[in-house]
Chain A
Amino acid sequence: MSDKVVYLSSQWRDEVAKRLKSELSPEKMKFITTSVAFNYINCPQGKDRYLYFKCEEGSITEVIVDEGDPPKAEFTITGNYDLFAQITQGIIKSHRALMSGKLRLKGNMVKALKLASLADRLNNIMAQVPTIY
């Protein structure tokens, strides 16, 4: 793919889903079953948006981008659009954003720790999608 896609657009979502499914095997995802919703606030278009992933036994089964309230997820991470964009580009590490309080996590922290490295893998793949932020 040579053309860039707009961040959080349906084209971007499709590209992310395609790459995640092809590059993250259930083994790499430790056969986990979980779900996470990223709540983007202060988006350029004005409305809050979300990015939702569902993973069943290590396979990514759902990737949703939409406006409004996300489906119920095991983990919810809320932050500014700009911050998420910087994280996706690898400019800021998500860990630093959480430690500074700029991102707000909701969910079982102990389980989140177990999944932290998997989230990094997921983010690394998203970072490779040519994107217009």
Chain B
Amino acid sequence: MSTMLNNDPYFIDFPGRVSQIQESMANENIDCYLGSRLRTISWVADAFCPWRSYIVIPAQGNPTVFTFVIDAARVADDSWLDEDHVLGYAPLGGMDQITLISDFIKDDLNVKSGRIGIESGMSNYLPEGNITLFEYENFKAALSGCELVNAHYIIDRLSLVKDEGTINRFREASRIVDVGHKAVKEALSNGGWKGMTETEIADIAALAMRRAGSVWEWSFTGGNEIASGYRTGLAGGACTPASTRELRFGEPLMVDIHAMFKLALGDHAHNYLIGSSTDRQLWHANNFIDIVSLTLKTYKAGISPVSLGEQMMDFAEERGFAEYMVPGFEHGIGMLGDEWRIGLNEGPFPFWTNPDHTYQENEVLICAMQYACPDDEIGFRYENPIVIKKDKCEALSKFGLRVEVIE
């Protein structure tokens, strides 16, 4: 069980979060919340739960996490919750997920009727953790006196604007990512790139970041994403798990690395041209740098994804490179498991970002941009966590914005 003093820069008032959830539950006449999404468990329990896990939040009192028994003691050790509030499930009589949790709700919480909040939906993010059909049907049968109601929006609403401790964790994760970028740049320099593969670059960054305090290259996209040559310019591509491809003279290189610090996520991409550059490559590079710079200057409270997108695509059209831009400029981010969708499930397409979402102060998102020209086998990526401020944004990774030509 971890404890943290409130003068710690990374302090988060978890009991306060639970009280906020319980207040929302009361307003919605929800007697008990059965969360299953990774984002919910991270946000409430402050522990990494890689196995299928659940969190039961009662109307009053502390929540209880249920995870695979082989990891329950470790989760309890990491979490602010004590070992009586982190229970293990196992394939034993009375200990399977459905029986253990439904018995806990009925017998320990004495919720035998009423409304139980669950988390249902869909996601483009594989580890989202929405309740499965099997779980739903079996919980419904085991809790036959209760009504299961979708209530994910309670967590989504409360976790949207970040507190200071969370933002500081993101700042530290980004500082660590910058350490990784520095290590990669040093390794590539002075001919170091020769014979190097994308996977080697991914691990050079990983080692440096872990030495600096990262616990995981958290992205499900293969950890650190490295692309070289034509792979940087795959049409519409913004996902490049490192391959064993060797770097080649005159080609672009995209280094998109990820660090995790106290469940906050660092995510920054930096771009290179290896050995030399052509005028055409530099034209692409300048286009990319200019639109990223303009985007970062534009982010502030009060704008929306669609208003920013229109403005940036107008700029790209004027400059003659709109066809190379993936027309999206951000994705959501939060504590581990909270990725991609920004804001609430209130847009025209269920469980996607609402294009008209109005950014508020202290929202954190990833400024994410992909430039790709398949014909020229070149592309660049920018990703950086940003904190939305009243009149600007704070870019958390400080590694210099440029496309570097590595000798």
Contact = CB atoms under 8 A, between A and B. Distances in A.
B159 to A, nearest CB: 28
Interface residues of B, number: 19
A99 B73 contact: no
Contacts, number: 49
Contacts of A79: 93
Interface string B312-329: 000000000000000000
Given A110-B76, A110-B83, A110-B88, A105 B93 contact: yes
A110 B87 contact: yes
A100 B96 CA distance: 11
B83 A100 contact: no
Given A110-B83, A110-B88, A111-B83, A105 B72 contact: no
Contacts of B92: 98-99, 101, 103, 105, 109
B50 interface: no
Contact of B69 (A99, A106, A113): A113
Most buried by A among B90, B94, B100: B94
Contact of B94 (A104, A110, A111, A113): A104
Nearest to A99: B92
A101 B72 CA distance: 21
A106 to B, nearest CB: 5
A98 B93 CA distance: 5
Contact of B84 (A98, A105, A108): A108
Interface residues of A, number: 17
Interface in A73-101: 78-79, 97-101
B95 interface: yes
Residue from B76, B88, B95 having most chain A Cβ neighbours under 10 A:
B95
A86 B240 CA distance: 58
Interface string A102-125: 111110111101000000000000
Interface in B61-120: 69, 72-73, 76, 83-84, 86-95, 99-100, 103
A101 B93 contact: yes
Contact of B103 (A106, A109, A110): A106
Nearest to B86: A110
Query: Which of B83, B87, B92, B99 is most buried by chain A, counting CB atoms within 10 A of its CB?
Result: B92
A63 B63 CA distance: 34
B93 A109 contact: no
B87 A100 contact: no
A108 B94 CA distance: 11
B88 A104 contact: no
A97 B95 CA distance: 13
B96 to A, nearest CB: 8
Contacts of B76: 110
B91 A109 contact: no
A102 B83 contact: no
Given A109-B87, A110-B88, A103 B72 contact: no
Contacts of B94: 78, 103-106
Contact of B91 (A78, A99, A104, A113): A99
B67 to A, nearest CB: 10
B18 to A, nearest CB: 20
B327 to A, nearest CB: 49
Nearest to B73: A110
Contacts of B69: 109-110, 113
Contact of B95 (A78, A100, A102, A105): A105
Interface of A: 78-79, 97-106, 108-111, 113
- List the 5 closest pairs (A to B, CB-CB), nearest first: A104-B94, A109-B88, A104-B93, A98-B92, A101-B93
